[in-house]
Amino acid sequence: LLVRAARGEKVERTPVWMMRQAGRYMAAFRAYSDKIPFRERSETPDYAVELSLQCHRAYGMDGIIMFSDILTPLPVLGIDFDVVKGTGPVISTSVRTEEDVNSMPRISFDEKVPFIAETLQRLSKEAEDANTSLIGFVGAPFTLASYTIEGKSSKNCLETKKLMMADETGENKCISLFLDKLATMIGEYGCHQIENGAQIIQVFESWAHQLSPAGFEKYANPAAKKAIAIIKEKHPDVPVIYFANGGSSYLELQKDMGCDMICLDWAVDMAQARKILGPEVPVSGNLDPSVLFGTKEQIEQAVRDCIDKAGGPGCHLLNLGHGVMQGTPEEAVKWLVDEVKRYK
């Protein structure tokens, strides 16, 4: 159902999954996350498989998403990172010059991230047994580039923007070269996930809110497009969803991404987004995650409103407009999933 909807087909009811559906709002998830460091959890197939499946067992979403991180494949380019509790990802590799990019190695996924293939293969079997879809995901080139350049999460992405300005004057082409190298690697990483069982790939442009429309058009869009084209060329039948978090102010620039579906953040009205993109562009999204802190009635009404604005039951893929927030009541997630399935 999810795969057909992601291809843009009209389906019998609206399917649903949620970004960060495998997350700390679940007590069963915290039993692992409170004790085991993030990279160990995401890079050990036994843990990653269990954490991917918990929410599906509990709430029956229409898709299982692999528990992993957008930064996971960076070591294949010789970029080291760690995830520090309370701080988030920290990247130690410096990328500031053309030489920094040109000297990057390209190591195989099987050598550097062998756990991805095993995790996906095992999840693929679980998804088949549960009659559900398996979602893989990648970070978009601009987001991975800026994460690496800034070294950690950043309020204003200044080092990256300085490199964009130096690129425009021609004095330092680091950012263009880096985006190109990342686009190739990410495209191949998406293919690697599909070859190990993923049936859908979502591309996360998590830092789109850092970009002006012009910056998006010049840097993020072409690089993401290249990554998506690599996936679609090799696997034309596997749907690719593109999500630019904070990118709803320039939706018109996302019409030509080459993906099968655009995932919308919660800062745009669903009906308005439909109007901007046009009826031929399939969409997913875009409930405000904080709705899940409301009453059962408020959640159910928000679900119906979103589905109606998207064109009615079966006309889009329902998701949140960002990840499930920490502290979200578990019963609220159940209410949301149940209402999506009920509303036909």
Q: What are 84-135's pLDDT values in tens digits?
A: 888 889 999 999 999 999 999 999 999 999 999 999 999 999 999 999 999 9
The Cα-based distances of 338 to 170, 286, 300, 343 in angstroms read: 54, 17, 9, 9
> What proportion of the chain, given as a percentage, has pLDDT over 70?
100
Q: Are 134 and 120 in contact (CB under 8 A)?
A: yes
Tell me the per-residue pLDDT of 216-270, one tens digit each, with 9 for 90 and over.
999 999 999 999 999 999 999 999 999 999 999 999 999 999 999 999 999 999 9
Tell me the mean pLDDT in the region 154-161: 96
> What would the mean pLDDT of 47-66 be, rounded to a whole number?
98
Query: What residues does 65 pair with on adjacent strands?
Result: 135
Give the C-alpha separation, 149 to 161, whole Å.
10
Judge whether 197 and 124 are in contact, CB under 8 Å: yes
Q: Comparing C-alpha atoms, which of 131, 129, 142 is closest to residue 179?
A: 142
Picking from 263, 324, 310, 287, the residue whose alpha carbon sits closest to that of residue 137 is 263
Q: Report pLDDT for 101.
A: 98
Q: What pLDDT, on the 0 to 100 scale, is given for residue 87? A: 86
Cα–Cα distance list, 86 to 47, 323, 327 (Å): 21, 17, 16
Residue given tokens 């293939």 in the structure block: 117
CA distance 186 to 139: 7
From the centroid of its chain, how far is CA 151? 20
Tell me, what's the pLDDT at 33?
A: 94
What is the rounded distance in angstroms from the CA atom of residue 55 to the CA atom of residue 58?
A: 5
pLDDT at position 151: 96
Percent of the chain predicted with pLDDT > 90 = 98
Distance between CA 7 and CA 87 in Å, rounded? 37
What pLDDT score does 244 carry?
A: 98
Q: What's the predicted TM-score (pTM) here?
A: 0.97
